[in-house]
Amino acid sequence: MITVKDNSLFEQYFSRYSHESSDLKVTAALHGNSKAKKINGGILNFKHHLSEPHGISVCFSDKSTTFSPTTEDLLIVENLNNFLNPTGTVTGVPIEFNQMNVIWGSGTDITSDQYLSFLTQYKTIYCFLDYDLGGFKAFRGLNANLPQSKVIFYQHPMLKEYLEMFGNTISEEQYLELIGFEHSPGLEKVISLILSLKSVNKPPVFLEQETLQYHLENINGN
C-alpha cells in the first residue's frame, strides 16, 4: 500500500499518470513521453506510375487502408532521390516499370507490418533497393511475409560495372553477414555477383542505388 503524505506534491508530479486514452500514443504523451509508444498507423508515398511528377500519401491505421492498388504489379524504390527523379531511376530498367504503381520504400520502413495487407494485393513486386545489407534485409523481410505475391529483387544490368567503379568497401563483419544471405531465395544472383568481385587484394563492395543515375547524366552529357 502506498500512502500519500503530501497531496500537493503528488498532484504536481504523479497525477498525470491517472489519465489514460484509448490511443496508446496519446496515453504515453499524457504520461510525459510520447516516444514510448509507436503510432498504430503509417503513410506510404505512392505514384500510379513512375513518370508521374507528383504522388499521393496513402494513410494506414491499424494495418489497413481504404486505398486500393491501380495496377497488378508494383515497383518499390528504396531511396527518395530515385523516387523523385523518375528519369534517372528508369535508366536501363525495363520499360514496363513505368506501367506499374510505385512506392517509396524509405529504407526498410516498407517492411512494416502496417503495409502487408495492402502489398499482398499485388501480383508481382519488384524491389529496386540498395545493393547492401539494408536492401537485402528489406527484400528478405518482404519475400518472407508476402507469400501470395511474387517478390523480385531487381538487379540493374550495369550493376557489375558500377560496383567496380563506385562500390563502397565493406568490413569483415559486413562480409560475414553478407555470407548469410548467399542462399536467401531471390538474392542468390546478386550476392554471387558481389562475392565474385572479391580477390586477395580486393574486398567485396556494396552500392547505393543513386549512383546508377549517373549513367543517364553521363550519356546525356549533363
Quick one: pLDDT at residue 82? 80
Q: Specify whether the CB–CB gap between 145 and 63 falls below 8 A.
A: no
89 and 192 co-located in one domain: yes
87 and 118 co-located in one domain: yes
151 and 71 co-located in one domain: yes
Neighbours of 1 (CB within 10 A): 2
pTM, full prediction:
0.80
Q: What is the pLDDT of residues 107-124, one digit of tens each?
A: 889 999 999 999 999 999
Quick one: pLDDT at residue 51? 83
Of 53, 56, 54, 24, nearest to 43 (Cα)? 56
48 and 118 co-located in one domain: yes
Longest CA span, the chain:
78
Quick one: pLDDT at residue 77? 92
35 and 52 co-located in one domain: no
Q: Specify whether the CB–CB gap between 195 and 167 falls below 8 A.
A: no
97 and 113 co-located in one domain: yes
Q: Kindly report the three-state secondary structure assignment for every residue of the chain.
A: CCCCCCHHHHHHHCHHHHCCCCCHHHHHHHCCCHHHCCCCEEEEEEECCCCCCCCEEEEEECCECCCCCCCCEEEEECCHHHHHCHHHHCCCCCHHHHHCEEEECCCCHHHCCCCHHHHCCCCEEEEECCECHHHHHHHHHHHHHCCCCEEEECCCCCHHHHHHHHCEECCHHHHHHHHCCCCCCCCHHHHHHHHHCCECCECCEEECHHHHHHHHHHHCCC
93 and 179 co-located in one domain: yes
We report the CATH number of the domain holding residue 188 as 3.40.1360
50 and 69 co-located in one domain: yes
64 and 27 co-located in one domain: no
Domain of residue 110: give its range: 42-219
- Per the structure, how many domains does the chain have? 2
- Mean pLDDT of successive 10-residue segments in the chain (222 residues)? 64 60 54 59 93 92 95 93 71 76 94 96 95 95 96 90 86 90 94 83 74 58 49
100 and 169 co-located in one domain: yes
Compute the distance between CA of residue 153 and CA of residue 129 in angstroms, rounded to an integer: 8
Quick one: pLDDT at residue 84? 84
